[in-house]
A and B are shown apart, each in its own frame.
Chain A
């Protein structure tokens, strides 16, 4: 069968308009014009992809640019600052994504990640254990992964609700985190200041920069690599008659990647110091991209990823297909906690140490909100790591913008967090309802 089937025997019972609206545009479009029409139809039916979140982001940025004092929001210094704040949300949202795709929730990510980061920060302290940074980070991430696997085992083997198990995990991890902080002679604040290469490395996860020339070369390599892969696979599929986007769309996609890379590197390479020079892409950008890239490949190109979506969509169908549902779900929770460890490791770097100021509970909400704002469904089976990255950027933009307005008090942060989370859930539920009813009502 050649891509789209011949129309000789139309299914009289299916409303043609409805089918149109629900199909991913890439599936039916032969030309760019058709693609745009199919995409518009799909947005109206609630299956909108990432476009709304990108539009929302531009709107938020526009508003804050206009109202921020001296339009400081759009300055290179503030935008890099925004990227750094966003990095934690982005990675944490990608972590939560694993639980959400399974149709579950993990409330413990904030403090489990905190335990991992605190372990790493403690182990590299020169006056106590003085570990090398590599085993220290690995030890922290291992703790997170094991914690997640234990939670996953309880949820799947004992059939306990993930909400309750990870709520318990949240409290337990909070306690362990405070215990870890009190170890050593640091009065509960092991920090990254000091003359040790290992301290510098973790501090530099967020604050280190790649020099401008290398930044451009790196961005070029990434864009060309991604572009080649996209173009070659799309054109191979077009040639062999498989479902593929039109060539113009492949080019637009590659062009967008290039534009984003140029904008990000351009901003980062602007000198953003008030005195002296501070320029170049922060390490955290390739770190976030690496997490995004690895988890995207795992979720979209491996059996494991396919089974994650299948379980989120219909666990019974997955079980009957011979999938080891309990194992996949347990591993999903393990990866969720592991990725949370990476996120809070970045947080430790951003703050230059760990302290009991960490709002682990609030971070969970930000993570869920970021994933959902980006397009991941709370109801399971739908979501991508990219959604976490986009949603994380939106949350960070709100956070950063409010801060610039001088609205930094904790009360307002709580209220805005709550409202944003609520808005995201409403959008998710409403768009889902739209998609479900669209199959019969829409013309």
Chain B
């Protein structure tokens, strides 16, 4: 597949296009010619077994790793994401599996970590507290009692909510979430999935990496499957069922015919 030249962005045009992406670590080829589209207002689930390359692909997009070959287009323009700052500048935010929160800091301090607002050279706590409160309210995160409570006192679902709020605070357009529901209880999982849907309703592109296929079918509009470093299939969630995704994840192909676009071998 040849890389598309920069073109004006139309409705339905992918926010982020990955074309022919290769990544290897020494002799280990982690990704082979990966093509992936992420659409605004859509939740794309990235599935794959352990070692399929999900994390590597995510990190290539979010600037943690540098790609070896291939191109990344952002809103139709080729971009080079050299580090996480570049990614943040474009509007790409990642919510890591370990959430990257400081337990000893409160919610406001965590949400603004590294991007504090200042007044006369000093931290402008009032301003940050108000903005953090507004963001949480707009995402309808209502279970935290106070934005000034330390993150150590939050439940798992609340922590995930704070990490997501932290990511969407910066006018981000793409939020990447690594295993957002891992280690969460039933109620908390529902909270987080509802939160993901609200991000989609705001018009953000969301990429969710998950092992939990129940959650994937609950929330995803599109599904993409990685198998041993190759992106074997991507398409609308309606074109998949659970069994088919499992088949792609474990064998890299499907015995049944389908409408979803599969990558050429």
> Interface residues, chain A, CB within 8 Å of chain B?
1-6, 8-14, 18-19, 22-24, 26-28, 236-237, 240, 242-243, 297, 301-303, 306, 309-310, 312-314, 316-318, 320-323, 381-382, 435, 439
Contacts and interface: CB of A to CB of B under 8 A. Distances in A.
Nearest to A45: B153
Interface stretch (B29-37, B116-124, B174-182): B116-124
Contacts of A18: 153
28 contacts: A4-B146, A5-B136, A5-B141, A5-B143, A6-B142, A11-B157, A11-B191, A12-B187, A13-B155, A13-B157, A14-B155, A18-B153, A22-B150, A24-B148, A26-B148, A240-B126, A302-B121, A302-B122, A306-B116, A312-B104, A313-B103, A313-B104, A316-B100, A318-B113, A320-B96, A320-B100, A381-B102, A381-B103
Contact of A306 (B123, B148, B156): B123
Nearest to B145: A4
Nearest to B186: A13
Contacts of A323: 113-114
Contacts of B129: 242-243
A11 B158 contact: yes
Interface of B: 84-85, 88, 96, 98, 100-106, 109, 113-116, 118, 121-123, 126, 129-130, 133-134, 136-137, 141-150, 152-158, 185, 187-188, 191
Contacts of B133: 1-3
Contacts of B153: 18-19, 22-23, 439
Contact of B103 (A2, A19, A26, A314): A314
A14 B158 contact: yes
A18 B114 CA distance: 30
Nearest to A319: B100
B106 to A, nearest CB: 8
Contacts of A297: 122
A382 B102 CA distance: 11
Contacts of B106: 27
B261 to A, nearest CB: 34
A18 B116 CA distance: 30
Contacts of A240: 126, 130
A9 B103 CA distance: 24
